[in-house]
Amino acid sequence: MPLVKGGKIVEDSFVKLDVDAPLPAAGDILVPGDRFLKDADALLARPGKVGVIWPNNRDIDALVPYLGKLAAVALVFPTFRDGRAYSQSRLLRERHDYRGELRATGQVLRDQFVFMLRAGFDSFEVKKQADAEAFTQTVKRYSVFYQPTGDGRITALHRRMQLRHSEGVGT
């Protein structure tokens, strides 16, 4: 499954570990939330980056104390119809000021890219190769946004106010 990060298809430096898979001595790991919480200090002490795979049916509150030490949080879209992780990602970015990698996993298709970017995701495990390759094109689909989110894109309402203002200055 291709990983898109920074707008490009890249190698994934993280290895995903199951609940009971042996811990590699070094290297970047992505571990399920439960396993991480049970053993957070030890996991964070080993060499290599640590990321957490957080399910979409659990409050992110339990993860919040560790956010500063995590290199990645992977949120889950079990199907693309299930939009809970959009709320989780906005909360992580906008309320808890999480600045590490925020990865969308699961059924990630190109038609969600713009929504995901706006909600704060910056890396994407894309289901289909063709969708991953179309990333740059796809995210240019929209230039107008009605809602303010943490991604900082200027909203239609504010753009209008700016236009009004600049017109006002001119007359």
The residue ranges that bind another protein (CB under 8 A) are 80-84, 86-88, 90, 95, 109, 111, 114-116, 118-119, 130, 141-149, 155-157, 159-161, 164
Structural Rg of the chain based on CA atoms: 18
Q: Which is nearer to another protein, 66 or 145 (CB)?
A: 145
User: Which of 70, 114, 117, 122 is CA-nearest to residue 96?
Assistant: 70
Q: Which is nearer to another protein, 4 or 91 (CB)?
A: 91
Minimum CB separation of residue 116 from another protein in Å reads 8
CA 161 to chain centre: 30
Q: Kindly report the number of other CB atoms within 10 A of residue 160's CB atom.
A: 10
Find the shortest distance in angstroms from Cβ 127 to another protein.
9
What is the biggest distance separating any 2 CA atoms in the chain, rounded to whole angstroms? Answer: 70
Cβ closest to another protein, residue 5 vs residue 153: 153
For residue 48, give both structure tokens: 């290599």
Q: Are 70 and 40 in contact (CB under 8 A)?
A: no
- For 141, residues 6+ apart whose C-beta sits below 8 A from its C-beta are 114
As measured in angstroms, the least distance from the Cβ of 29 to another protein is 27
Of 43 and 91, nearer to another protein (C-beta) is: 91
Closest CA to 36 of 56, 23, 52, 17: 52
Shortest Å distance, C-beta 117 to another protein: 8
Closest to another protein by CB, 66 or 115: 115
Residue 130 C-beta: closest distance to another protein, Å: 7
* Collapsed DSSP state (helix, strand, coil) of residue 157: helix
